[in-house]
Amino acid sequence: MARPTLLLLPGLMCDRAAWAPQVEAFGSRFDCLVPHYGTLDSLPAMAAQVLREAPPGPLSVAGHSMGGRLAFEMWAQAPQRIERLALLDTSYHPLPVGAEGERERSGRYALLEIARRRGLRAMAREWAQGMVHPSRLGTPVFEAVLDMFERSSAEAFAAQIEALLARRDATALLATIDVPTLVLCGREDAWSPPSRHEFMHRHIAGSTLAVIEHCGHMSTMEAPAAVNAALAGWLGGPLANRAAPDGV
C-alpha cells in the first residue's frame, strides 16, 4: 500500500535542504516530495507542473515562503487534490502599487545584478542577513542557507523573481480554504511577519496558528524541532468532511 504524500514546496532559491529536517522527521510515514521548479517564471506554471508530477490521490501540501504562494496557486487550480494545507513564513498580498511596489521590484533586480556580477554566494550573503534570526548569523545554519542558494543559478533566480513580481492577490482565496490548515512563522520573520499570518489565520476557517519564538524567516532550518511539532499536529488532526467534486 502506497504511503500518503507530503508535498514540501521550497521557497525562492531554496531546495531540498530547506525541508531536510522535515523529510527526516516524517519520511517513515509519508512519501515526502520536494519539487524543483527549474526556470519556470510564473507561479501558475509552477503549480501546474507540481500537480502534474505529483502522485495521484490526496496531497498534504506545505509551502514555505514562495512555496506558500505556490500552495495558493495549487489550491486555485485543483482544491480537490489537497487534503491538508500548511502555509509557512509566507503571505497573500500582491505586489503593492506605487512607490512600495517599485521599491520591491528594484530591490529584487538589484540582488539579481549582484548574483550576475559577483556570483550567487555573494548575493546570498547580502540578501540572507535578514532571513534568519540575528543570533544565527555566521552559524552553520546561516552557512547552510548560503550553500543552498549557491547551488541554484542566476537563471532560476531571474525566473522566480518574475514569478513573484506577478504574484496574485490571494486574499479572496483564504475564505475558500476548507481543509485542515496550519499557518506558521518565526516571531522575528522580517520578510513575512506574524501580523500577516494572523490575518491568514483569521480568514481561514478552523486554521491553526503557530508562531515560533527566537526564529526568523527560515523556520524549517532554524527551529526544526518546533516546526516539526506543529507539522505533526497538523498531519495528525482530523480531515474536513468535504463533498466530492463533480464527476468524482
Q: What is the pLDDT of residues 11-42, one digit of tens each?
A: 999 999 999 999 999 999 999 999 999 999 99
End-to-end CA distance of the chain: 22
Q: In whole numbers, what is the pLDDT of the chain averaged over residues?
A: 94
**pTM metric for this prediction:** 0.94
d(CA 226, CA 219): 9
Residue 2's pLDDT is 78
Confidence of residue 248 (pLDDT cuts 50, 70, 90): very low
Convert the pLDDT of each residue in 194-206 to its tens digit: 999 999 999 999 9
| Buried b / exposed e along 162-173 (16+ C-beta atoms within 10 A) | ebbeebbebeeb
Q: For the domain with range 1-241, which CATH number is right: 1.20.59.10, 3.40.50.1820, 3.40.50.11540, 3.30.420.40?
A: 3.40.50.1820
Kindly tell me if the per-residue pLDDT of 246 is higher than 60. no
Q: CB under 8 Å to 183, separation ≥6 — which residues?
A: 86, 87, 197, 200, 201, 204, 207, 208, 209, 210
Strands (E), 178-248: 181-186, 208-212
- Whether the CB-CB separation of 69 and 63 falls below 8 Å is answered with yes
pLDDT at 237: 74
Tell me the pLDDT tens digit for each residue of 66-92: 999 999 999 999 999 999 999 999 999
Measured distance CA(87)–CA(70) in Å, rounded? 10
Q: What is the pLDDT of residues 148-179, one digit of tens each?
A: 999 999 999 999 999 999 999 999 999 999 99
The percentage of residues in the chain with a pLDDT greater than 70, rounded to a whole number, is: 95
Alpha-carbon distance 68 to 97, whole Å?
22
Among residues 179, 248, 188, which one has the least CA distance to residue 208?
179
* Burial status of residue 99 (CB atoms within 10 A of its CB: 0-12, 13-18, 19 or more): exposed
pLDDT value for 241 = 59
Per-residue pLDDT at 243 exceeds 50: no
Q: Identify the burial level of 42 via C-beta atoms within 10 angstroms of its C-beta, where 0-12 means exposed, 13-18 middle and 19 or more buried.
A: middle
What is the radius of gyration, based on Cα positions, of the chain?
17
Instruction: Compute the distance between CA of residue 26 and CA of residue 32 in angstroms, rounded to an integer.
Output: 7
